[in-house]
Amino acid sequence: MLSSLHYFVLSAILFAIGGIGVLVRRNVIVMFMCVEMMLNAVNLALIAFSRYLNSVDGQMLVLLVMAVAATEVVVGLAILVALYRQRPTTDVDEMNLLKG
Amino acid sequence: MLETILFACFGLAAIAGAVWVILGKNVTWSALGLLINFCSLGALYILLNAPFVALIQFIVYAGAIVVMFLFVIMLIMVRRGEGEDRKYLQRYAGIALAALLVAGLLYFGLQAAMPQGPMPQGDNVQILGVALFSGYLLPLQMAGVLLLIGMIAVVVLAKKKVV
Amino acid sequence: MLDYAWLVLVFPLVGVIVNAFFGRRLGKRGAGYLASAMVGLSFVCAVWMFAELLGRPETDRVIVRPLFDWITVGDFNVQAKLLLDPLSAVMATVVSGVSFLIHIYSIGYMAHDERFVRYFAYLNLFVFAMLTLVLAENLLVTYVGWEGVGLCSYLLIGFWFERKAASDAGKKAFLVNRVGDVGFALGLMLLFVTFGSLSMQNVLEQTMVVRLTSGVATTIALLLFVGAVGKSAQIPLYVWLPDAMEGPTPVSALIHAATMVTAGVYMVARTHALFQLSSSALTWVAAIGGVTAFFAATMALVQHDLKRVLAYSTISQLGYMFLGVGVGAYASGIFHLTTHAFFKALLFLGAGSVMHALAGELDIRKMGGLKGKIPTTFWTFLIAALAIVGFPGLAGFFSKDEILWRAFADGKTVLWALALLTAGLTAFYIFRLVFSVFFGESRVDKKVAAHIHESPKVMTVPLIILAGFSIIAGYAGVPKILGGGNWIEGFLEGSLGWRAPEVLAEEAAHGSAGTEWALLLVSVIVALAGIGLAYYFYVRRTDLPGRVAKGLNGVYTFVYNKYKVDEFYMGAIVTPLRQLGGFFSAKVDGPVVDGVVEGIAALVALVGRGLQALQTGLARNYALGILAGAVLLLVYALVK
């Protein structure tokens, strides 16, 4: 029988994979995609609990998270484009002006 | 039974997509992996009796966000892949941490009593609609404002500076 | 006026503030006139006050006017009040009057100085401080004035601070005064501990009631006297006064002849109740006064610098004053203070006038024959000289003889003899000056001789006025045997009359009128002898001084070098202290203190550098940090 535990585990694994992606990859766009993945993993967990607890709050939260995530992606990509114009690289290691 | 099989399929697909994202040799393949991930998750949502959310997932995430990623990829035209990454500490520490995270969450999950229950009945869309416009009205409006701000921000940020 | 007595203090203060801030705009003339006018107004108020006091009955002449509450801390209460009684009236009048004349003189003397305005600001400040000292009811307020005059003395001695000698002299004056001030402060503390108050009224009331052990009284009195020794340049703290002649001559006249140096005498007179309780303290005062008088006179015999001779003369005359108060003749001491203010100021101002005529020449070996060329200066100087030696009829005669008589009457014959001898020496060295500077052949440098001219009216009028006072001031204290009523002693009884009961019995007149007459004649003869001897040495046979000096070569050089006292102080006190300071600076301040401070700074830098490694600028590292934190929280929550 499926319980929320299974979904929870899946969500955890997806979150971890996303985390690894953020830490390991150097391409900014891929990093960003991984961040989106992490958000989605959390969404999954929320929906699962919403279903198993018979409450609508989970889904509401997910809707709001999606709205925020959409905005965030949009703005983030705009920033990326602006950054790229400054320095034509997508390697995040080269954006180290904060060093020191 | 069917539910379990479907869960297994889409779950594996999601994980595969995720792995593809982080292991993709070039960015476009990562984008594809992302798409697979999102779609699998959407299917899982349907499985979890959240059709409306699943629909939004497909439209917004798979439809808009992935497309935007592709746009940006095309704009930026990344050709070469990443060079050699010599920051070993970063990589291995990162992986170790993630593993630790999963372990911790698993431990928590196994320990705690995870909810179990039958599929809820009722029209999902109607329930969501009512809740959205009664209890969750403020967050709804704020989300609207947020989207507006986002739009303006993007226009300002991405404009080419007229020299 | 008695209710407005504070005006006496306010006028000079206004002068200081206006001159200090707006002096430049007033210009030289404006600043000079303003400063003098302020002091003049003070003088008017002081005289008015004096007159009012005279109008009151004898028993009602001690008036206290409160100003404000100064310090209230627990048991320690200090209220700033003005004490207006005969003694302070006399002092205030003398101080403001002589200051006024010297201000006017300074307008002429300092006319070419570019820091003219600042000079007058300092002078006004000095007058303010001195008047505070004299009019204060509470000894702590007196101390404020005491310190204030010390400060002004430093500022004015070192007025031409571009000259090393002047700035050194200023420092020396201040530091030596400080040594005395420590004694004074200790005395004040002991006074407070004993009486619980520093108010003269309180203390006086209590001395009438409380039976003090003579030990305590002696200690307090002696400590206060230490302060007087410093301020009034007695042995052993006199060394600053000759050096103080580096300052402008009006300053020497005002501060180091007429007013500041007399603060010590005033203080002893003011606190005479304490001294009366301890006969040993009084003996010390008299002894130091007498010895200093003699000692300084010997040094004045051989100096060539015009002002230095006068400086030693001041020290010597101050010794006379202390001798006077030391034998219980407080009124005589104050009387001599008053007359001395007039003729000593006159002597100094006259010296200034001579220097003005000779373009700054100070060496009497390069003067001579000036009497025809600068007549006003000559005649006023001569009057002052006669006054100081006690020539019958002039001011010094009455005051000095009173002191000598009282010393003899008190049984202190040794001191009397010493003082008499000093009188002879005084006559000799003063007329040595007179004859060397004004009589005989001119030894003036040719270039300078061409420009000899009398000083302007602004300078000579004060001289004339002071000369007048030098003549008539003595008549305030004509002793009974000569037919007068010794008016001033009677007037000052109101302030200086406190006697411990057991002493009162002894105060009955010692000695007869006959002895007094005899002593009077003796001192006149000694004075005339001194003048005659000086005439012989410096007019008739001008080769004699040189031959005597060669004959007594060793002694002469020793005295000329001021008995090497300055060198002794330098070697015994100053140099060891400097070395100690140097040691501490090099071995303690450097390695230890600086080491600690710099060590802390280095430590901070080290930590900073360590933390710098965390700021790589790479977003991935920061993300790692975030995730690590999250995991840690999770683990922590799970473990709990």
Residue A68 in any domain: the answer is yes
The amino acid that residue A56 corresponds to is V
The candidate with the shortest Cα–Cα distance to C65, out of C17, C1, C13, C119, is: C1
**SS3 letters for C432-475?**
HHHHHHHCCCCCCCHHHHCCCCCCCHHHHHHHHHHHHHHHHHHH
Nearest chain B CA: its distance from A65 CA (Å):
9
Query: Do B73 and B135 lie in a common domain?
Result: no
Q: Which two tokens stand for residue C82?
A: 């003005």
Domain CATH code at residue B16: 1.20.120.1200
Interface touch C624/B94, C-beta < 8 Å: yes
Query: Do B20 and B76 lie in a common domain?
Result: yes
Q: Which residues contact C225 (CB under 8 A, 6 or more apart)?
A: C183, C268, C281, C284, C285
Could you say which of B21, B72, B120 has the minimum Cβ distance to residue A51? B120
Q: Is the pLDDT of residue C512 over 90?
A: no
Instruction: List chain B residues with CB under 8 Å of C633.
Output: none
pLDDT given at position A19: 92
DSSP C422: H
* DSSP string covering C358-407: TTT--BGGG----TTTSHHHHHHHHHHHHHHHT-TTSHHHHHHHHHHHHH
pLDDT per position as a tens digit, A13-62: 999 999 999 988 888 889 999 999 999 999 999 999 888 888 888 899 99
First to last CA, chain B: 64
Query: Do B15 and B64 lie in a common domain?
Result: yes
The candidate with the shortest Cα–Cα distance to C303, out of C372, C226, C225, C365, is: C365
Q: Which helix (H) or strand (E) holds C82?
A: strand C76-84
Query: Do B77 and B7 lie in a common domain?
Result: yes
Interface touch A16/B98, C-beta < 8 Å: yes
C66 - beta bridge partners? C81
Task: State ipTM.
Answer: 0.90
Above pLDDT 90, what percent of chain A?
A: 51
Q: In chain B, which residue's Cα lies nearest the Cα of C619?
A: B90
Query: Do B11 and B60 lie in a common domain?
Result: yes
Environment class of residue C234 by beta-carbon count within 10 Å: exposed (0-12), middle (13-18) or buried (19+)? buried
Interface touch B108/C627, C-beta < 8 Å: no
* 3-class secondary structure, C541: coil
Interface touch B102/A13, C-beta < 8 Å: yes
CB C252 within 8 A of CB C344: no
Taking every pair of C-alpha atoms in chain B, what is the biggest distance, in angstroms? 64
Task: Count up the domains in chain A and report the number.
Answer: 1
B120 preceded by a cis bond (ω within 30 of 0) = no
What count of residues does chain C have? 640
Give the domain extent around B131: 122-163
Q: Which two tokens stand for residue B93?
A: 């520490």
pLDDT given at position C209: 67
Last residue of a domain, one of B81, B113, B144: B81
Residue B96 in any domain: the answer is no
Query: Do B75 and B127 lie in a common domain?
Result: no
* Neighbours, chain C (3 or more CB pairs < 8 A): A, B
DSSP C138: B
Taking every pair of C-alpha atoms in chain A, what is the biggest distance, in angstroms? 54
Interface touch B90/C620, C-beta < 8 Å: yes
The candidate with the shortest Cα–Cα distance to A38, out of B49, B140, C630, B158, is: C630
Residue A31 in any domain: the answer is yes
Residue B51 in any domain: the answer is yes
Nearest chain B CA: its distance from A48 CA (Å):
7
Test the B interface: residue of C624, C632, C636 with most B CBs within 10 Å: C624
Residue A96 in any domain: the answer is no
Could you say which of A6, A64, A81 has the minimum Cβ distance to residue B75? A81
Query: Do B8 and B73 lie in a common domain?
Result: yes
Q: Which two tokens stand for residue C562?
A: 């001021």
Q: Count other C-beta atoms under 10 Å from residue C550's C-beta.
A: 9
The amino acid that residue C152 corresponds to is C
CB C321 within 8 A of CB C287: no
Q: How confident is the model at residue C604 (pLDDT cuts 50, 70, 90)?
A: very high
CB C415 within 8 A of CB C286: yes
Pairs of CB atoms within 8 A across A/C: 29
Q: Is the pLDDT of residue C15 over 80?
A: yes
Per the rule left: phi > 0, alpha: psi between -120 and 50, beta: everything else, C326 is alpha
The amino acid that residue C433 corresponds to is L
pLDDT per position as a tens digit, C560-594: 777 888 888 888 888 888 899 888 888 888 888 88
Residue A97 in any domain: the answer is no
Nearest chain A CA: its distance from B10 CA (Å):
11
Q: Count other C-beta atoms under 10 Å from residue C404's C-beta.
A: 27
Residue B7 in any domain: the answer is yes
The candidate with the shortest Cα–Cα distance to C265, out of C296, C307, C293, C246, is: C293
Q: Which helix (H) or strand (E) holds C70?
A: strand C63-73
Interface touch A23/C620, C-beta < 8 Å: yes
Nearest chain C CA: its distance from B156 CA (Å):
24
* 3-class secondary structure, C304: coil
Q: Rounded to two decimals, what is the model's pTM?
A: 0.70
Instruction: List chain A residues with CB under 8 Å of B37.
Output: 14, 37, 40
Q: Count other C-beta atoms under 10 Å from residue C175's C-beta.
A: 13
Instruction: List chain B residues with CB under 8 Å of A35.
Output: none
Q: What is the mean pLDDT of chain C?
A: 84
Task: Count up the domains in chain B and report the number.
Answer: 2
The candidate with the shortest Cα–Cα distance to C321, out of C263, C280, C387, is: C263
Residue A98 in any domain: the answer is no
Could you say which of B14, B72, B128 has the minimum Cβ distance to residue A59? B128
* DSSP string covering C494-519: HHH----HHHHHHTSPPS-HHHHHHH
Domain CATH code at residue A53: 1.10.287.3510
Could you say which of C627, C628, C638 has the minimum Cβ distance to residue B104? C638
Residue B128 in any domain: the answer is yes
pLDDT per position as a tens digit, C524-572: 888 888 888 888 887 777 777 777 777 777 777 788 777 888 888 888 8
Residue A77 in any domain: the answer is yes
Residue A57 in any domain: the answer is yes
Query: Do B7 and B66 lie in a common domain?
Result: yes
* DSSP string covering B42-71: HHHHHHTT-HHHHHHIIIIIIIIIHHHHHH
Q: Name residue, tokens 């007025």.
A: C159
Interface touch A92/C616, C-beta < 8 Å: no
Q: What is the mean pLDDT of chain B?
A: 87
Q: How confident is the model at residue B80 (pLDDT cuts 50, 70, 90)?
A: low
Residue A29 in any domain: the answer is yes
Q: Would an 8 Å CB–CB cutoff place A96 in contact with chain B?
A: no
pLDDT per position as a tens digit, C159-180: 998 989 999 999 999 999 999 9
